[in-house]
Amino acid sequence: MELKNPIIISSSSLTDSVGKNRKLCEAGVGAIVLKSLFEEQIMMEADWLGDPNMYPEGSDYLVEYVRLHKLGEYLTLIRESKEACTVPVIASINCYHDAEWTDFARQIEEAGADALEINILALQTDLQYQYGSFEQRHIDILSRIKQATKLPIIMKLGDNFTNPVTLIAQLRANGAAAVVLFNRFYQPDIDIEKLTQTTGDIFTSEGNLARSLRWTGIASGAVSGIDYAVSGGIHSLGGVVKAILAGASAVEMCSVFYKQDAQSLTEEYLVFLKAWMQRHGMESIEQFKGMLNTKDLSGVNTFERAQFMKYFSSKES
């Protein structure tokens, strides 16, 4: 996809309606990722309606009705957003099985989406978990969906992999067009007075950017032929530049757009980016994309430093 600028609005409630997407487009963003359709949510609602005490045919009918209704609403959002927006509209699915989405991927393409982002976000807590099976699930889902559609497939990864680089190489080999680093887990917290589990901060902070920069810098230096986007922690105006220097082609942003008007915020980021490029003699993003990834650090690989002693061993007190 050709983007007019590297700012992409992440899948969220910011992008769950045509009206919101139209305003984001008018604000000048480069692309929009529609709010995700969650396989888990659809199946939970369907199971709740599928009363086992009913006739099997009736139960099956309700389950299929819920599924088709949710999918139909999402396809309508794609069509109407495409009509209202002049920037790429990216559909988004949050799934964990490889069998449910093959037909739907075809319908997403027919509805006019410019690309499809796949989220497979889950914690592996099973005591009998087999090493590598979660990574293999990503590859299996990607392969099945690639058989059904010609859309570019973007894989948005969680940050719970031992070695994202190996997985990214496999995803590229199986036809992924891009990866996004990283998806954000639900943030738990504990209320010590009510003695209950509760929700933590739903927004990212500037501190979340370091992990995405590290793995974008490492992976983009090791695995070429696939695009990268940084997600999580883009708050300061320089965050977009940092992501591109690390090897990203674009950034996915969300939290800051909840806190500030999209029109003024987008303009601030783009003005800063243009001014920075002019100061450093850059005429295009391609000129500095990946300039500071691991392949171009002359052997001084700060992205792979994991121990504080390595940072401070040469410092004098």
Q: What is the CATH number of the domain that holds 249?
A: 3.20.20.70
The pLDDT assigned to 130 comes to: 82
The pLDDT assigned to 50 comes to: 46
Q: How confident is the model at residue 98 (pLDDT cuts 50, 70, 90)?
A: low
The pLDDT assigned to 43 comes to: 61
Any domain includes 1? no
Q: How confident is the model at residue 46 (pLDDT cuts 50, 70, 90)?
A: low
Any domain includes 114? yes
The pLDDT assigned to 240 comes to: 98
Q: What are phi and psi of 251, to 5 degrees?
A: -130, 145
- Averaged pLDDT, 210-222: 94
pTM of the complete model: 0.87
- Number of domain units in the chain: 1
Q: Please enumerate in sequence order all residues whose Cβ is within 8 A of that of 307, keeping only pairs 6 or more positions apart, or say none.
A: none
Q: How confident is the model at residue 294 (pLDDT cuts 50, 70, 90)?
A: confident
Any domain includes 190? yes
Nearest to 81 by CA among 118, 157, 127, 26: 26
Q: How confident is the model at residue 131 (pLDDT cuts 50, 70, 90)?
A: confident
Question: Does residue 264 carry a pLDDT above 90?
Answer: yes
Whether residue 261 contacts residue 29, with contact meaning beta carbons closer than 8 Å, is answered with no
Question: Does residue 97 carry a pLDDT above 80?
Answer: no
- Distance between CA atoms of residues 103 and 134, nearest Å: 23
- Averaged pLDDT, 191-197: 92
Any domain includes 2? no
The pLDDT assigned to 188 comes to: 85
Q: How confident is the model at residue 37 (pLDDT cuts 50, 70, 90)?
A: confident
- Averaged pLDDT, 51-75: 62
Any domain includes 199? yes
The pLDDT assigned to 187 comes to: 81
Any domain includes 247? yes
The pLDDT assigned to 3 comes to: 96
The pLDDT assigned to 56 comes to: 47
Residue 196: domain span: 7-312
- Distance between CA atoms of residues 8 and 6, nearest Å: 6
Any domain includes 34? yes
Backbone CA torsion sign across 23, 258, 252, 247: positive
Amino acid at 28: G
Question: Average pLDDT of the chain?
Answer: 86
The pLDDT assigned to 55 comes to: 43
Any domain includes 112? yes
Question: Does residue 58 carry a pLDDT above 50?
Answer: no
Question: Does residue 47 carry a pLDDT above 60?
Answer: no
Question: Does residue 132 carry a pLDDT above 50?
Answer: yes
Residue 127 vs residue 62, higher pLDDT: 127
Distances (CA, A) of 239 to 56, 226, 259: 54, 21, 17
State what percent of residues in the chain have pLDDT above 70.
Answer: 81
Residue 51 vs residue 3, higher pLDDT: 3
The pLDDT assigned to 160 comes to: 85
The residue assigned the tokens 């570019």 is 152
The pLDDT assigned to 304 comes to: 63
Q: Please enumerate in sequence order all residues whose Cβ is within 8 A of that of 286, keeping only pairs 6 or more positions apart, or say none.
A: none
The residue assigned the tokens 């940092």 is 242
